[in-house]
Amino acid sequence: MTSEALIGLIFLPLLGACAAVLPGRLPTRLGIVAGLLPLPGLLVAVTLSVWQQGPAFLELGGWAAPLGIRLFVDPLAVLMLWMVAIIGGLAAAHAWFDFRPGSPAGQKFWPLWLLLTSAMNALFLSADWFNLYVCLELITLTAIPLIALADSKKAVRAAMRYLLLALLASLLYLLGVALLYNATGTLDLYQMADVLAAAPSAVVVTALALMTLGLLLKGAVFPLHAWLPQAHASAPGPVSTVLSALVVKSAIYLLYRLWLWGAADAVATELALMLLAMLGAAALLYGGVLALLQERLKLVIAYSTVAQLGYLLLILPMASATAWQAGTYQLLSHGLAKAAMFLAAANILHALRSDRLSDLERLDQRQPLSLFALAIAGVSIMGLPPSGGFLAKWLLLEAAWRSGHWWLLAVIVAGSLLAAAYVFRILAAALRRGDPTQAQPVADTQAIPRVQTACALLLALLALAAGFAAAPILAFIDTGLPSAWSGP
Amino acid sequence: MNDALNPSALIYLLTAAAVFGIGLHGLLQSRQILRQLLTINLMGSGIFLLLITLGGGSDGPPDPVPQAMVLTGIVIAVSATGFALALLLRWHELSDSTELDAVADADAVQDAHDE
Amino acid sequence: MRAPDMRVPDMRVPDMIGLGIDAVLALAIVWLALQTVRSRDLFKAMLMFVVFGLLMSLAWARLHAPDLALAEAAIGAGITGALLLVTWRRLQADGHEPADSEHPPLPLWLRLPTAGGASMLVASIGWVALELPATPGTAGELAWQRIDDIGVSNPVTAVLLGFRAYDTLLEMAVVLAAWLGARAVAIELRPGALPGPAYAEVPLVGALLSLVVPISILVAVYLLQAGGNAPGGAFQGGAVLAAGGVLLCLTGRLEAAAQTSGLERVLLVLGLVVFSLAGLLVMASGGAMLALPGLWAIYLVETALLLSIAITLVLLFAAAPGLRRAS
């Protein structure tokens, strides 16, 4: 049953995309519904199976690795797949209104969106380094056109820059994979882990460095982050959502797989993990400061992504179960909260026709629900209780304390302060009363479909709920610790 | 992957490294998007050449897995190039230029004027 | 066991002529790469790149990778070259003359060490890698051992459509995504989308087309069916077919259409759909996902892939939603 479910997660959106290419409204609607709606249901089956029987492999074509390609599902993969299903699903519901199936914009949008969904599912399930390269390219070639659909000069420029850098990153990654195959004779992630220690270290270290460099570029980790803010800010609303909450996470996810599963025993691992943590710290601080300086709402949120991704790298040298819980919880809550923020920002932009912070005054009267979603999501980003973000930060602080890396404590606290600053800045701008003599009539705003507002709100509430429903999620996560990590 | 270093393999290895380096140099040299696409393709070709050279065990039949990987890579490269060229044409229509301006390279307080 | 056709001759005694060929080829390839990068004239750079691709094709042949040689010639040099040149033409038609600006992203004193260092890193690591004794039980060895289970004797086809079919399927999705992306950023029909039927009235064109287009179809079909037991395959065949289509576009026999027709849409997704459904059907009837049950299934899937690749590449070239016969 699980095998069919896993295959369904990848192939239903894929075939849905093919349906959406066919002309007319009906095939597109059919493609969207068949490609997205069953995903949560399939995931329930998969989650239960992993919960009861533990992680599992699926050999495609029946060929055992290293001959064939395997899929691997464990709690981390399940978590990411849930995020794709829920965040992607709600973003798709939001997108339904601006990209109506059957309209010219919809005709361009939906096949790409469905292929992107399939590609992300494929990436989170794949256990083969070269297959991951193909998945990365598919994600790149579907996400970037979606950015360019905004059709503004800024969006197209951002898309072009992102494309060139993404292609370069993929080439570096591929070079690394080539060297790894030569050194180990296999492309399977988990098989390679066993033989990596025996392989010659010079080749392995170079390969790992190249792959990491490529993934850092794709994951917009400081100092290779410059492409992200404009790309995420100029994209259409639902696209920004998926980019910040999911696409950029796929690179971080691969970094986890590379260093915590694939190369856990390699020669340079400890050093590499420390270096990555330092880059994460720099990202956290730099992104936070720049977020504070921005004048446009979507840019603040985009720089916030650059910062918050830093948290994900901080856990790497800590090597404890608590650190793993912190990292996965940060993945989850940041995904939900950031998605909520971008959808709310899209609503605000649509309603007010501007997202300059100075134009946001009296937002509580003009777009109360979207502002509410923004605020709740902000609570999670700041790490205030009772949100998921709070739990993630708490676990992070605990893990840092236990591991004795004091500087990490300072960085985490500083990052949270910066987050508080830029979130409050947004809220302050939104609640400002402005000059009463120049009052914008409240009815100046464009109506937003209620579903769109609801999507943003729902995601924000989920980010909050992640703080409450932590126990089962954490218990589930605990069954899938990285091989080398143990202890509290 | 052999005891005596095959001189042919060495030649192609050096070629691969040279082509990769030349491509990288060209990429860092030009802002012209068309040229950047050319140089990225050059770098790709260098990597493909390396992959096959490493995979060519001279005692025994050639390893088909790197060959399949490179074939996939070639197809992906043409797809990416095809899309990139379409995006370039759109950029040209919007900006009347075929370069990415340096202005947007650095982090800055982004100007809010929408073009 | 089936290796004799592909077995390479004993290489322990260096083959002096072969070595000489390799050396000359290598120098030419490097020189062409330099020309591509250093030519001030972008048009010349693109031509150098096309010739580079052709010489790479020779290199693949020398490295005992005939499938790659075919693919590089048809796709890497041929289609990529066509795409680059037609884009150049379109930019020119808009009155734009792309030229390099004066401020490079990285100054020379940084560029040269970076590129030089990268080059030397690749060379030295490659050298180390080459010196390694072969690891036992590599994927390639296993592929040769189990090749009879797939039913073809071309090992690359066995890997592409047998052992690692999933990669090929996703690769087809990448091709589709490229077209979808190109459609997404194109405004609806540019005037002068195609270079124009300037050659439609030239007398010899008709004769040329009546010769070349059927040959391209024939070669494409040949490459498809030969791909099982000899070099060839769906991608190479698809590219050759696309080349025929490109020729029709260039000579004004096909013109841009404002809408993608139903037939074109079906052809675009045919490869992906047939491949996926074949794999799913096998899974539904108790087998493993994507374990294609025999030669006929492989050919069926490859035919669908060939058609999709061909239509996608032609439409990418045409930069139009669709194509129709010129009136």
Q: What SS3 class is residue C106?
A: coil
Given a cut of 80, whether residue A483 has pLDDT beyond it is no
* Mean pLDDT for the stretch of residues A48-67: 91
Q: Is the pLDDT of residue A142 over 90?
A: yes
Contact A144 B54 (CB under 8 A): no
Structure confidence at residue C254 as a pLDDT band (50, 70, 90): confident
CA pseudo-torsion sign A461, A464, A469, A474: positive
Region A222-234: mean pLDDT is 92
Q: What is the separation of C-alpha C134 from the centre of its chain, rounded to a whole number of angstroms?
A: 30
Task: For chain A, give the secondary structure using H, E and C.
Answer: CHHHHHHHHHHHHHHHHHHHHCCCHHHHHHHHHHHHCHHHHHHHHHHHHHHHHCCEEEEHHHCCCCCCCEEEECHHHHHHHHHHHHHHHHHHHHHHHHCCCCCHHHHHHHHHHHHHHHHHHHHHHECEHHHHHHHHHHHHHHHHHHHHCCCCHHHHHHHHHHHHHHHHHHHHHHHHHHHHHHHHCCCEHHHHHHHHHHCCHHHHHHHHHHHHHHHHHHCCCCCCCCCHHHHHHHCCHHHHHHHHHHHHHHHHHHHHHHHHHHCCCCCCHHHHHHHHHHHHHHHHHHHHHHHHHCCEHHHHHHHHHHHHHHHHHHCCCCCCHHHHHHHHHHHHHHHHHHHHHHHHHHHHHHHHCCCEHHHCCCHHHHCHHHHHHHHHHHHHHHCCCCCHHHHHHHHHHHHHHHHCCHHHHHHHHHHHHHHHHHHHHHHHHHHCCCCHHHCCCHHHCCCCCHHHHHHHHHHHHHHHHHHHCHHHHHHHHHCCCCCCCCCC
Pick A167 or A438 by higher pLDDT: A167
pLDDT at A310 over 80: yes
The B residues from 18 to 47 touching C (CB cutoff 8 Å) are: 18-26, 28-32, 34-35, 37-39, 41-42, 45-46
Q: Are the CB atoms for A332 and A313 separated by under 8 Å?
A: no
| 3-class SS of residue B105 | coil
Higher pLDDT, A480 or A165: A165
> What's the mean pLDDT when you consider all of chain C?
87
CB neighbourhood size of C56 (10 A): 27
What phi, psi does A38 have (nearest 5°)? -70, -10
In the structure encoding, which two tokens stand for residue A131, read together?
């297959």
- Tell me: the pLDDT tens digits for A279-301? 999 999 999 999 999 999 999 99
A283: tokens are: 């990202």
For residue B95, the chain C residue with the least C-alpha distance is C96
Residue type, C29: I
Position with higher pLDDT, C186 vs B48: B48
pLDDT tier, B112 (very low <50, low <70, confident <90, very high otherwise): very low
Cβ of C269 within 8 Å of Cβ of A141? The answer is no
The C residues from 248 to 307 touching B (CB cutoff 8 Å) are none
B76: exposed, middle or buried (Cβ count in 10 Å: 0-12, 13-18, 19+): buried
pLDDT level of residue B1 (50, 70, 90 thresholds): very low
Compute the nearest-CA separation of A435 from chain B (Å): 21
In single-letter form, the type of residue at position C44 comes to K
CA distance A303 to A59: 40
Contacts of residue A435, Cβ cutoff 8 Å, sequence gap at least 6: none
Pick the residue of A151, A156, A349 with the most B CBs within 10 A to test the interface with B by mutation: A156
Sign, CA dihedral A150-A82-C180-A252, equals: positive
Select the residue of A159, A178, A296 nearest B112 (Cβ to Cβ): A296
Cβ neighbours, 10 Å, residue A211: 28
pLDDT bracket for residue A403 (50, 70, 90): confident
| A69 chain-C contacts, CB cut-off 8 A | 164, 166-167
How far apart, in whole angstroms, are the C-alpha atoms of residue A187 and residue A290?
40
Is the predicted pLDDT of residue C55 greater than 90, yes or no?
yes
A476 — contact with chain B (CB < 8 Å)? Answer: no
Pairing verdict, β C254-257 and A70-73: unpaired
Residue B115 and residue A156 in contact, taking contact as beta carbons nearer than 8 Å: no
Q: What is the mean pLDDT of chain A?
A: 91
Q: Residue for token digits 């005054």?
A: A361
- Record: contact C125-A206, CB cut-off 8 A: yes
Cβ contact (<8 Å) for C235 and B37? Answer: no
Q: How far is B29 from chain A, CA to nearest CA, in Å?
A: 14
With bands split at pLDDT 50, 70 and 90, how would you rate the model's confidence at C3?
Answer: very low
DSSP code of C203? H
Distance CA A79, CA A435 (A): 47
Which tens digits make up the pLDDT trace of C130-161?
887 777 778 888 888 888 888 888 999 999 99
pLDDT above 90: residue C28: yes
What chain A residue is nearest to C143 in terms of C-alpha separation?
A67
Q: Place A366 in a pLDDT band, splitting at 50, 70 and 90.
A: confident
Judge whether B47 and A174 are in contact, CB under 8 Å.
Answer: yes
Closest to A305 measured CA to CA, from A231, A386, A397, A410: A231
C199 pLDDT exceeds 60?
Answer: no
Give the pLDDT confidence score for residue C257 in this predicted structure: 86
Residue A54 clears pLDDT 80, i.e. is over it: yes
Exposure class string for A29-52: b at 16+ Cβ within 10 A, else e: bbbbeebbebbeebbeebbebbee
Q: Quote the pLDDT of residue A354.
A: 82
- Tens of pLDDT, residue by residue over B5-35, are 678 889 999 999 999 999 999 998 888 899 9
- Positive or negative, the CA dihedral A386, A388, A389, A393 is positive
Sign of the C-alpha dihedral, residues A322, A473, A79, A48? positive
The ipTM, to two decimals, is 0.94
Q: Which residue has better confidence, C320 or C5?
A: C320
The 10 Å Cβ neighbour count of residue C122 is 26
What would the pLDDT profile of A315-357 be if each residue is shown by its tens digit?
Answer: 998 888 899 999 999 999 999 999 999 999 999 998 888 888 8
pLDDT at A221 over 60: yes
Q: Which amino acid does the sequence have at B86?
A: A
The H or E element containing residue C14 is: none
Contacts 24+ apart (CB under 8 A), A223-227: A223/A279, A223/A282, A224/A165, A225/A283, A225/A287, A225/A306, A226/B105, A226/B106, A226/B107, A227/A158, A227/A161, A227/A162, A227/A165
From the list A293, C131, A390, the residue with the least C-alpha distance to B2 is C131
- The label of the residue with tokens 């605000």 reads A348
Indicate if the pLDDT at residue C96 is higher than 80: no
- Window from B35-49, C100-114, C262-276 with minimum mean pLDDT: C100-114
What pLDDT, on the 0 to 100 scale, is given for residue C103? 73
Q: Per mean pLDDT, which of A148-152, A248-252, C184-188 is the most reliable?
A: A248-252
Q: Where are the domains of chain C?
A: 145-327
The interface residues of chain C toward chain A in range 156-175, judged by CB-CB distance below 8 A, are 162-167, 170-171, 173-174
Confidence category of residue C2, pLDDT binned at 50, 70, 90: very low
For chain B, the structural domain boundaries read 7-114
Find chain C residues with C-beta within 8 A of B79's C-beta: 174-175, 177-178
Looking at residue C137, what is its pLDDT? 76
Q: What is the rounded CA–CA span in Å between residue C71 and residue C156?
A: 12
Which CATH class name applies to B7-114?
mainly alpha
3-state SS, residue C324: strand
Q: φ and ψ at A266, to 5 degrees?
A: -70, 170
pLDDT 10s digits, A430-447: 888 776 666 555 555 677
Return d(Cα A371, Cα C195) in angstroms, integer. 51
Q: At what angle do helices A2-21 and C262-284 cross, to 10 degrees?
A: 170
Query: Given pLDDT bands bounded at 50, 70 and 90, which one contains residue C253?
Result: confident
For residue C139, what are its two tokens?
A: 């994927």
> For chain B, what is the largest distance between any 2 Cα atoms, rounded to a whole number of angstroms?
64
Please give the pLDDT value at position B2: 44
Residue A58 has φ and ψ, to the nearest 5°, of: -130, 120
Backbone angles phi, psi at C95, to 5 degrees: 85, 15
The subunits that touch chain A, with at least 3 C-beta pairs less than 8 Å apart, are B, C
Q: Which residues, in sequence order, are bridge partners of residue C323?
A: C256
The mean of the pLDDT values for chain B is 83
Q: Give the pLDDT of residue A487.
A: 65
| Residue burial A87-110, b: 16+ Cβ < 10 Å; e: rest | bbbbbbbbbbebbbbeeebbbbbb
Please give the structure tokens belonging to residue A282.
């720099």
Q: How many Å is the Cα radius of gyration of chain C?
A: 22
pLDDT of residue B111: 47
Residue identified by tokens 């066991």 is: C1
pLDDT of residue A481: 86
| pLDDT at res. C1 | 45
pLDDT of residue B109: 45
Residues 194-223 of C with CB under 8 A from A: none
Return all residues near A417 (Cβ < 8 A) that are at least 6 apart.
Answer: none
Residue of chain C whose alpha carbon sits nearest to that of A128:
C167
What interhelical angle do A388-403 and A450-468 show, nearest 10?
40
**Terminal CA-to-CA distance of chain B, rounded, Å?**
56
Question: Has residue B3 got a pLDDT over 50?
Answer: no
C185: number of Cβ within 10 Å: 25
Which chains, if any, share at least 3 CB pairs under 8 A with chain C? A, B
Q: Which of residues 149-188 of A touch B (CB under 8 A)?
A: 152-154, 156-161, 163-164, 167-168, 171, 174-175, 178-179, 181-182, 187
pTM, two decimal places: 0.94
- Categorize the per-residue pLDDT at C283 as very low, low, confident or very high, splitting at 50, 70 and 90: very high
What is the nearest CA distance from A86 to chain C, expressed in angstroms? 23
pLDDT digits (tens, 9 = 90+) for C212-231: 999 999 999 999 999 888 88
Percent of chain C residues topping a pLDDT of 70? 90
Q: Which residues of C touch A60 (CB under 8 A)?
A: 165-166, 288-290
Cα Rg for chain A, rounded, in angstroms? 22
10 Å CB burial of residue C257 (0-12, 13-18, 19+) is middle
Which residues lie below 8 Å from residue C44, measured CB to CB, with a gap of 6+?
C35
Cα of A451 to nearest chain C Cα, Å: 25
Tokens of C115: 């590129």
Contact of C291 with chain A, judged by CB distance below 8 Å, is answered with yes
Task: List the single residue in C100, C160, C164 with the smallest CB-CB distance to B32.
Answer: C100
Cβ–Cβ under 8 Å, residues C317 and C83: yes
Please state which of the ranges A462-471, B14-23, C45-54 shows the lowest mean pLDDT. Answer: A462-471
3-state secondary structure of C195: coil
